[in-house]
């Protein structure tokens, strides 16, 4: 008799505003198996699994758990059906202790904390995780937070645990403990869905592998049917739309060297990395999560500090610089456009004009401290036109705009500072197709004007479409450089994961 | 003083051991390995155009190189000391020698010898260029050591080089630039600029005006001679790469002194014209894998590089011979029709590559 799959997805589709994130995927998870879900950023892995965890509901298709058709109205339903998900971004309450977080939702009218901490201690010891149950979550690093999330899922004695990039923040030793835990869960008959960018890890711990690409299932089978090359091929071999994904036919020649990053190190994230950026050219930087791309960019811009001792050197326009905060960096002409616009990019309750004016004030330390409302309005109207920002009302708050228009505001806020070098970190993440085209056009026009442009992206077609020169980052350093003419999705991906 | 101590503690500023990346137009390739070999001999060095053919120095001789179906080499002149630089104009050839003097062969000043400039003895003529038939630009690499002891001059951190303009008819000389850190190459480029490659400071400067102007600095290699091309660009030879370990040793004075006093020069951890031919040497490109990353544990000492730069200091293209190759120590290059001819002093070869590649 054939085993009944613990999860079965039949023709599952999820659309956001008419755009499919997951398209007609039919897939199953067997009891006690470790199933790796692989794919590029934006391939639909997280959306797909969030439907199992009740975080989002499918637009169409059928979802069965242990042979029974289900329809989850929220994570609680999924949890009751025996499915737990450990998210990439932790869902812990920062002001509470680890122990309190572990047993969140199980509180009684009167609670004794001591037994709770003792139980927590036992859980962590059984998992071999070095986490203090008395510690307040906000004081923990991301790796420890991830461990608490994992412990919370394991504690609930569920049938399926979905891990979304569980090892991205773990140290090698902690990864070892995590893999031992996965094996332990497998022996107990718990099924594990393992979403990862680390192909080696997927190949070593999973029983089956499924590759998603652009929301579609492109390959699925036993781990023995795959090797690293076949996975990469399946991950990147998409048919690209002509407008957004075609490779550049004309490449800009490098101008004068603007920035020289020399042997820069920052803890374990950035390790002795060296590269140069040239004027009048778009330099694309590709790398997987944890490859140190954004951290390096933030060091350049002054948002992060490199190692105090032997941390390397940064030369900008022939001058050695060490920005201890972004403001002097901005004044020197370097602007970093963040990948996390909602947290770092704008003041959401302020209008577009106010955001732009604040940015202008931050750029020039010699400006008058008096706010000039007329200048603010002029500024807003100028950038409205220039970047084609669509809003019902010019006084709209930024929070009221769509993702694409919010991103345009963030870019405008960077451009009002009149930078010489601008670093775009994931410039089109969470942005609709129309806005992507606008942003790409803008980036090209800035490079044509002679500005130094760096585009950091996890999306290979974007890198290929924009870049005159491509750097690949892995394990905290730039490991490969490609001219636009020699770059392909395959060779970039090989450099990024090998 | 205080900031100096801070820099020393933190390994920053002038105590930094970082080196720039060889990327962009300087990205490594193996094109030099594919270049045609025209001649093989021990340490060919300076190349010039003279009398309708390329001439190069090798040991104590100057050889003529006739390019044809089969390249032919013939001896033109021999000297008692090794030849350290050449310059040519019309029928006039200026030859710098290891003993310090410059000799003029042919033309109006045939037989002339220069062994003093200004108030000093010429010690290390390493590059020369005729401005016109009676004016010679001469770069003296060092006031402390002869050209063959360049490695000692580098490791001691000397900056005693100078560039002179010498009027051959009157014998008068004018100091153009002093306290240079081994001016290894000199040439006139379009617009009347005089470009000089200052090797130990890894830069190229224009000394045509009172105050030298930096054309390009922080090069990832030690520049050797430079040569203007017919298209208005400049060929820049690189004889060795800059490496973090060498930068570190240059700052660790005590270690440096002990290395220089206790270890034979050819085994120093210092830039070299060639390496990897003696098993006593530290291995090149040795590496170990740590956590999936290949970590180099012994850096390259020698390298082969010829780069083309425009007069604004932007590198346009380059050809390389990497650590595993033999064509290292490129010290001189000239344009010859559609080809670039260059000497690999470390590899003991005269090579030719297509100009559009180099």
A459-473 residue pLDDT tens? 788 899 899 999 999
Band (pLDDT 50/70/90 cuts) for residue A242 is very low
Q: Which pLDDT value is given to residue A394?
A: 67
Identify the helix (H) or strand (E) that includes residue A11: strand A7-16
Which of A175, A199, A263 best probes binding to B when mutated, by most B CB atoms within 10 angstroms? A263
User: Which residues, 6+ apart, have CB-to-CB distance to A123 below 8 Å?
Assistant: A102, A151, A154, A155
Q: Which pLDDT value is given to residue A172?
A: 60
Residues of B in contact with A310 (CB under 8 A): 10-11, 17
- The shortest C-alpha distance from B149 to chain A (Å) reads 30
Q: Which pLDDT value is given to residue B318?
A: 95
* Interface touch B21/A318, C-beta < 8 Å: no
- What is the rounded distance in angstroms from the CA atom of residue B39 to the CA atom of residue A409? 63
In words, the CATH class of domain A257-497 is alpha beta
Q: What is the pLDDT of residues A341-367, one digit of tens each?
A: 777 888 888 888 888 888 888 877 566
Mean pLDDT, rounded, for A85-94: 76
Q: Which pLDDT value is given to residue A246?
A: 58
- The shortest C-alpha distance from A257 to chain B (Å) reads 7
Q: What is the pLDDT of residues B200-256, one digit of tens each?
A: 999 999 999 989 999 999 999 999 999 999 999 999 999 999 988 899 899 889 999
Query: Which ranges in A308-419 belong to alpha helices (H)?
Result: 326-332, 352-363, 373-387, 403-415
Which of A175, A259, A274, A472 best probes binding to B when mutated, by most B CB atoms within 10 angstroms? A274
Backbone φ, ψ for residue A240 (5° rounding): -100, 140
| A306 pLDDT more than 60 | yes
Residues of B in contact with A172 (CB under 8 A): 291
* Interface touch B16/A275, C-beta < 8 Å: no
Residues of A in contact with B217 (CB under 8 A): 318
Which residues belong to CATH 3.40.50.300 in chain A?
7-239, 257-497
Q: Which pLDDT value is given to residue B284?
A: 53
- B349: nearest Cα among B298, B299, B306, B296: B306
Residues of B in contact with A254 (CB under 8 A): 24-25, 314-315
- The shortest C-alpha distance from A276 to chain B (Å) reads 7
Interface membership of B11 toward A (CB under 8 Å): yes
* Interface touch B25/A254, C-beta < 8 Å: yes
- What is the rounded distance in angstroms from the CA atom of residue B355 to the CA atom of residue A408? 45
A-contacting residues in B 271-300 (Cβ below 8 Å): 291-293
Q: Take residue A459 and report the two structure tokens written for it.
A: 């999306």
- The shortest C-alpha distance from B24 to chain A (Å) reads 7
- B140: nearest Cα among B120, B162, B119: B162
**Strand A208-213, strand B92-97: pairing:** unpaired
CATH topology of domain A7-239: Rossmann fold (3.40.50)
The DSSP bridge partners found for residue B39 are B350
Mean pLDDT, rounded, of chain A: 84
| B19 pLDDT more than 80 | yes
| B141 pLDDT more than 80 | yes
| A202 pLDDT more than 50 | yes
ipTM for the predicted complex comes to 0.84
- The shortest C-alpha distance from A154 to chain B (Å) reads 28
Q: Take residue A179 and report the two structure tokens written for it.
A: 């893999």
Residue of A255, A263, A318 lying closest to B244 (CB–CB): A263
Residue of A255, A481, A483 lying closest to B314 (CB–CB): A255
The DSSP bridge partners found for residue A22 are A14
């Amino acid at each position: 008799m054939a085993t009944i799959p613990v999860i079965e997805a039949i023709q599952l589709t999820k659309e956001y505003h008419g755009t499919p994130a997951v398209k007609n995927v039919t897939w199953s998870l067997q009891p006690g198996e470790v199933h790796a879900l692989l794919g590029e950023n934006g391939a639909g892995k997280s959306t797909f699994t969030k439907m199992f965890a009740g975080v989002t509901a499918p637009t169409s298709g059928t979802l069965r758990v242990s042979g029974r058709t289900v329809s989850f109205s929220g994570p609680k339903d999924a949890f009751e059906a025996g499915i737990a998900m450990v998210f990439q971004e932790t869902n812990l309450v920062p002001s509470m202790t680890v122990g309190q977080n572990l047993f969140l939702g199980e509180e009684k009218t009167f609670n004794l904390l001591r037994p709770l901490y003792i139980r927590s201690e036992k859980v962590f010891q059984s998992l071999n995780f070095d986490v203090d149950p008395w510690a307040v979550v906000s004081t923990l690093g991301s790796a420890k937070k991830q461990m608490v999330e994992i412990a919370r899922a394991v504690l609930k004695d569920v049938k399926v645990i979905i891990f979304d990039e569980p090892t991205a923040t773990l140290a090698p030793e902690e990864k070892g403990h995590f893999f031992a835990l996965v094996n332990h869960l497998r022996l107990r008959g718990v099924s594990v869905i393992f979403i990862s960018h680390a192909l080696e890890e997927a190949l070593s711990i999973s029983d089956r592998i499924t590759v998603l690409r652009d929301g579609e299932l492109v390959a699925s089978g036993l781990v023995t049917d795959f090797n690293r090359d076949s996975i990469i091929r399946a991950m990147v071999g998409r048919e690209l739309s002509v407008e957004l994904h075609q490779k550049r036919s004309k490449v800009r020649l490098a101008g004068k060297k603007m920035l020289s990053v020399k042997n820069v190190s920052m803890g374990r994230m950035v390790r002795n990395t060296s590269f140069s950026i040239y004027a009048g050219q778009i330099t694309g930087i590709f790398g997987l999560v944890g490859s140190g791309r954004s951290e390096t960019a933030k060091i350049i811009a002054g948002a992060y500090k490199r190692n105090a001792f032997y941390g390397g050197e940064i030369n900008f326009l022939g001058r050695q610089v060490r920005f201890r905060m972004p403001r002097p960096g901005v004044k020197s002409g370097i602007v970093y456009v963040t990948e996390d616009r909602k947290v770092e990019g704008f003041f959401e309750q302020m209008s577009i004009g106010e955001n732009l004016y604040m940015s202008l004030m931050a750029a020039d330390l010699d400006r008058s401290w008096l706010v000039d409302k007329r200048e603010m309005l002029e500024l807003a109207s100028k950038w409205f036109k220039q970047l084609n920002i669509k809003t019902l009302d010019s006084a709209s708050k930024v929070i009221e705009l769509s993702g694409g228009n919010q991103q345009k505001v963030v870019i405008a806020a960077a451009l009002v500072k009149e930078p010489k070098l601008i670093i775009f970190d994931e410039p089109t993440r969470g942005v609709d197709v129309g806005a992507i085209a606008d942003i790409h056009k803008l980036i090209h026009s800035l490079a044509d004007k002679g500005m130094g442009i760096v585009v950091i992206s996890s999306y290979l077609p974007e890198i290929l479409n924009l870049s005159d020169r491509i750097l690949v980052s892995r394990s905290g350093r730039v490991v490969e450089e490609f001219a636009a003419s020699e770059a392909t999705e395959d060779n970039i991906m090989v450099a990024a994961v090998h | 003083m205080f900031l100096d101590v801070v820099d020393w503690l933190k390994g920053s500023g002038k105590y930094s051991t970082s080196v720039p990346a060889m990327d962009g137009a300087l990205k490594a390739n193996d094109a030099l390995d594919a270049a045609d070999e025209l001649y093989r001999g021990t340490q060919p060095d300076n190349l010039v155009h003279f009398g309708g053919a390329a001439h190069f120095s090798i040991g104590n001789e100057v050889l003529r190189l006739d390019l044809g179906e089969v390249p032919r080499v013939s001896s033109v002149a021999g000297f008692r000391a090794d030849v350290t630089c050449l310059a040519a104009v019309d029928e006039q050839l200026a030859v710098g020698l290891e003993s310090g003097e410059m000799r003029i062969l042919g033309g109006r000043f045939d037989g002339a010898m220069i062994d003093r400039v200004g108030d000093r003895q010429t010690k290390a003529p390493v590059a020369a260029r005729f401005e016109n038939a009676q004016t010679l630009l001469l770069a003296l690499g060092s006031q402390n050591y002869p050209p063959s002891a360049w490695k000692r001059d580098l490791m001691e951190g000397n900056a005693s080089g100078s560039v002179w303009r010498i009027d051959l008819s009157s014998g008068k000389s004018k100091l153009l630039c002093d306290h240079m850190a081994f001016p290894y190459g000199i040439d006139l480029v379009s617009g009347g600029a005089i470009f000089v490659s200052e090797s130990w400071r890894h830069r190229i400067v224009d000394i045509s005006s009172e105050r030298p102007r930096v054309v390009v600095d922080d090069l990832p290699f030690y520049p050797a001679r430079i040569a203007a091309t017919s298209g208005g660009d400049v060929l820049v030879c690189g004889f060795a790469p800059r490496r973090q370990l060498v930068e570190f040793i240059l700052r660790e004075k005590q270690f440096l002194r002990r290395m220089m006093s206790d270890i034979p020069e050819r085994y120093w951890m210092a830039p070299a014209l060639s390496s990897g031919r003696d098993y006593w040497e530290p291995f090149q490109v040795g590496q170990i894998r740590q956590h999936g990353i290949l970590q180099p544990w012994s850096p390259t000492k020698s390298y082969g590089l010829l780069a083309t730069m425009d007069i604004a200091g932007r590198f346009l293209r380059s050809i390389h011979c990497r650590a595993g190759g033999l064509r290292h120590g490129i010290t001189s290059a000239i344009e010859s029709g559609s080809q670039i001819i260059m000497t690999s002093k470390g590899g003991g070869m005269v090579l030719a590559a297509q100009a559009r590649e180099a």
